[in-house]
Amino acid sequence: MAVMEQGAPAGFDPGAKTTAIALSLLGAVAGAAIVLLILFASDLAAGWGIDQALSTVPLSLLAAAIVFMLAGGLVALTRLGLGGVIVLTGALCWMAGCITYYSFGWLLAVPPVLALLGALTGMIGNDRAASRSDGRLLYRQDGVTRLTHWVWAVVMFFMLLSGLQIFEARPDLYIGQQSGFGFDNAILDIYAVNTPNGARGQTKLFGQTFDTTGVLGMSGDAANPDFTAFPAWATIPSYRDLATGRVVHFFFAWILVGTLFIWLVNALISGHLWRDIILKPRDIRELPRDIVDHVRLHFTHGKSYSPLQKLAYFGVLVIAFPLIILTGLAMSPGMDSTWPWLLEVFGGRQTARTIHFLTMSAFVLFFVVHIIMVLVANPINELRSMITGYYKTNIKRDSSEEMQ
């Protein structure tokens, strides 16, 4: 950390600094211009598809974003890495502002894109320079890996919440080709029921009934509860709207499949898949020790992943992603006619739906463990490696290993 914090280290590329600052300041100027346009020339803004009035929350977020972009651009004059982080915060603020603003025009995407490019140029330039003088700072994640990671973070958020919305239309899971109405093949059932103690939310799992009032089956305001399978905060939209849930789910499904394809091609060509994801005999041998190390919170930060990490990423990228996509397709009657084997492989449409749901649960579990591990290991270092690609190892690089 020490070296990279000392401004511009030896061998630093001055072009990166100029580009980073220019892009960040341009982002700030573009942002300010758009906000002024909305505030004082709403007719003109409406022509660009930005037609809503700017209320306090989005206005303050957008204003904060402009300040961050401006300040970050100036800080980058002396501290490039820190300036990049501030500009990145500005870009995130702008995106949060857009989400609360509800209006949509391509113009709104200009400031965060400029700021993101500026922030990344600055942060990557800084880390690249620092890496030359610090043998432990290694380039570990290539651009495609980093980009797809963050796209998936957003995509999986929308997939999960719109998926729960879709599930809410029929909050039961069955085994087989069809749903049992005249017979019972349900393994999960979420519902609300009237009891002597008033309405309760219940969940029936493998024949066992659990009271899940407040979370499943019945939730929200005690005086005016929602009798939906999931709480309003867990679904998109927050109210019952299957049609919109489907629109959101299928849009992000396409993004997921597209980025997964890009990731796969890159991982095959660059060797990332073979090098970092596929477990080798050596990884299997080291697995027990790695488990012990993890339990003791003693982490090895090397150039590649530890056996447990490989196992987790293998599970997500090679098993869970294809599984959740194929079981999703198996629920499409159109796809079932195209690829009839989908029904054979998964044992029927309703079983496929159940597997889809279970895979989603596995993703949620992975997400929780993933976040915990990032926090426990070293959040700054882990975040940096997923933003700039550079990762601080705790073993000194041996002379034979060349930096990329």
Our finding on whether 236 is near other proteins (CB under 8 A) is yes
For other proteins, the binding residue among 2, 223, 295, 297 (CB under 8 A) is 2
How many residues interact with other proteins (rule CB under 8 A)?
70
Our finding on whether 239 is near other proteins (CB under 8 A) is yes
Between 40 and 233, name the residue whose CB sits nearer to other proteins: 233
- How far from chain centre, in Å, is Cα 30? 27
* Phi, psi torsion values for 137, nearest 5 degrees: -95, 105
For other proteins, the binding residue among 47, 49, 288, 322 (CB under 8 A) is 49
Our finding on whether 383 is near other proteins (CB under 8 A) is yes
| Gap between the Cα atoms of 325 and 343, Å rounded | 14
Give the C-alpha distances (Å, rounded to integers) separating 95 from 31, 89, 90, 110, 301: 11, 10, 9, 11, 32
**Binders of other proteins in range 96-115 (CB under 8 A):** 96, 99-100, 102-105
* Phi, psi torsion values for 368, nearest 5 degrees: -60, -50
Between 287 and 374, name the residue whose CB sits nearer to other proteins: 374
Between 126 and 212, name the residue whose CB sits nearer to other proteins: 126
Q: Which two tokens stand for residue 307?
A: 């056996």
Q: Interface with other proteins by CB under 8 A: which range of 17-25, 132-140, 236-244, 391-399? A: 236-244
Partnered with residue 189 across adjacent β-strands are 172, 204
Residues 6+ apart with CB under 8 A from 239: 232
For other proteins, the binding residue among 43, 181, 197, 282 (CB under 8 A) is 181
Between 85 and 277, name the residue whose CB sits nearer to other proteins: 85
Closest by CA position to 325, among listed 252, 219, 223, 399: 252
| Gap between the Cα atoms of 144 and 141, Å rounded | 8
Please count the other Cβ atoms lying within 10 Å of the Cβ belonging to residue 368.
Answer: 10
**Binders of other proteins in range 278-337 (CB under 8 A):** 331-337
For other proteins, the binding residue among 55, 338, 394, 404 (CB under 8 A) is 338
Look-up of token digits 């009891």: 195
Between 44 and 319, name the residue whose CB sits nearer to other proteins: 44
Our finding on whether 367 is near other proteins (CB under 8 A) is no
Q: Which two tokens stand for residue 257?
A: 């499949």
Alpha-helical (H) ranges within 48-109 are 56-75, 80-101
Q: How far apart are the first and last CA of the chain?
A: 20
Residue pair 132/8 in contact (Cβ under 8 Å)? The answer is: no
Closest distance between other proteins and the C-beta of residue 108, in Å? Answer: 11
Between 23 and 166, name the residue whose CB sits nearer to other proteins: 166
Residue pair 73/24 in contact (Cβ under 8 Å)? The answer is: yes
Q: Interface with other proteins by CB under 8 A: which range of 21-29, 82-90, 285-293, 394-402? A: 82-90
Task: Indicate the angle between helix axes 110-133 and 56-75, nearest 10 degrees.
Answer: 30
Our finding on whether 241 is near other proteins (CB under 8 A) is yes
Our finding on whether 37 is near other proteins (CB under 8 A) is no
The residues that touch other proteins, with contacts defined as CB under 8 A, are 1-2, 5, 49, 79, 81-82, 85-86, 88-89, 92-93, 96, 99-100, 102-105, 157, 161, 166-167, 169-170, 172, 174, 177-183, 232-239, 241-244, 246-248, 250-251, 253-254, 331-338, 340, 343, 349-350, 353, 379-380, 383
